[in-house]
């Protein structure tokens, strides 16, 4: 059995701004805490986010696969564990486990990242990382998150046009990765929101900078599965694609 105590841990209480209209933990807030936990893990190894920025380095999230086992609620005390599984080529792999105060797992996630040169916006080899990142490849929640691609024949319809503004961007100068979960949830129906989310998979294809517009498209729900696509309004291609599975889906 995996001993979580050996991994970096972020303990916190779910606050009002991290909860939805049902007082349930929002997926985007969970993704944001995952980023904070990853930054905290690296900081414990010897390099902070600000120091990486000073050296012209940054992280680009490529894919997320989040499974919600048991919904968490407002004011619930939780612990978020994370660890690096090492790298494959230019990909860095990192897993997460969220537990409640009793130690029961309530969510799991697998992610893939690239270390990038912020000036050239190009991926770097793992050897460019200034500090040694301790890895636990023997402890894995699964394979590299799959690339989400809308299946052929699935029809989408435009449901929203979103403009990235001040509140959506972060220190990397583009829309924060956690906000993509909001783009999906904001385009669910009341019935779908009431069902709740079991799994959310996102593939990130290009950055969205402040004042850029994204056209959101989605499919109808089929067997509890909904596919999303974000397209750049200036015709520069696909921004992201996502697959969302509702509770009760087969």
> pLDDT digit string (tens) for 173-185?
789 999 999 999 9
- Mean pLDDT of the region 107-121: 94
Say how far apart CA 117 and CA 1 lie, in whole Å: 38
pLDDT at 3: 86
Residue 203's contacts (CB-CB under 8 Å, 6 or more residues apart) are: 62, 63, 145, 147, 148, 149, 240, 241, 242
Say how far apart CA 136 and CA 199 lie, in whole Å: 24
- Mean pLDDT of the region 196-210: 95
Least trusted range by pLDDT, from 28-37, 141-150, 232-241: 232-241
pLDDT at 23: 96
Joined tokens for residue 16:
């009002």
Percentage of residues of the chain with pLDDT beyond 70:
99
Residue 3's contacts (CB-CB under 8 Å, 6 or more residues apart) are: none
Say how far apart CA 90 and CA 222 lie, in whole Å: 35
Model confidence band, residue 121 (pLDDT cutoffs 50, 70, 90):
confident
Enumerate domains of the chain plus CATH numbers.
4-128 (3.10.129.10), 157-246 (3.10.129.10)
> Taking 80 as the threshold, does the pLDDT of residue 247 lie above it?
yes
> Taking 90 as the threshold, does the pLDDT of residue 234 lie above it?
no
Model confidence band, residue 250 (pLDDT cutoffs 50, 70, 90):
low
Residue 7's contacts (CB-CB under 8 Å, 6 or more residues apart) are: 41, 81, 82, 83, 136, 139
Say how far apart CA 148 and CA 240 lie, in whole Å: 9
Average pLDDT, the chain: 94
Percentage of residues of the chain with pLDDT beyond 90:
85
**What pTM was estimated for this model as a whole?**
0.94
Backbone angles phi, psi at 38, to 5 degrees: -60, -45
Quote the DSSP letter at residue 174: B
- Mean pLDDT of the region 162-166: 93
Say how far apart CA 143 and CA 237 lie, in whole Å: 27
> Taking 80 as the threshold, does the pLDDT of residue 242 lie above it?
yes
pLDDT at 128: 92
């Amino acid at each position: 059995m995996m001993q979580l105590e050996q991994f970096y841990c972020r303990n916190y209480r779910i606050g009002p701004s991290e909860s939805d209209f049902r007082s349930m933990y929002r997926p985007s807030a969970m993704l944001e805490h995952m980023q904070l936990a990853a930054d905290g893990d690296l900081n414990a190894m010897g390099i902070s986010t600000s120091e990486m920025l000073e050296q012209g380095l940054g992280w680009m999230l490529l894919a997320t696969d989040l499974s919600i086992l048991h919904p968490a609620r407002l004011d619930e005390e939780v612990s978020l564990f994370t660890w690096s599984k090492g790298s494959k080529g230019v990909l860095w792999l990192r897993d997460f486990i969220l537990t409640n105060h009793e130690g029961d797992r309530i969510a799991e996630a697998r992610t893939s990242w690239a270390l990038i040169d912020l000036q050239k916006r190009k991926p770097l080899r793992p050897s460019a990382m200034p500090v040694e990142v301790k890895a636990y490849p023997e402890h894995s929640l699964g394979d590299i998150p799959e690339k989400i691609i809308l299946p052929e024949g699935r029809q989408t319809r435009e449901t929203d046009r979103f403009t990235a503004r001040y509140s959506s961007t972060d220190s990397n100068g583009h829309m924060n990765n956690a906000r993509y979960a909001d783009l999906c949830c904001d385009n669910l129906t009341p019935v779908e929101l009431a069902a709740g989310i079991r799994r959310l998979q996102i593939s990130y294809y290009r950055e969205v900078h402040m004042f850029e517009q994204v056209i959101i498209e989605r499919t109808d729900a089929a067997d509890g599965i909904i596919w999303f696509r974000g397209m750049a309004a200036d015709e520069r291609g696909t921004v992201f694609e996502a697959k969302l599975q509702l509770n009760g889906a087969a």
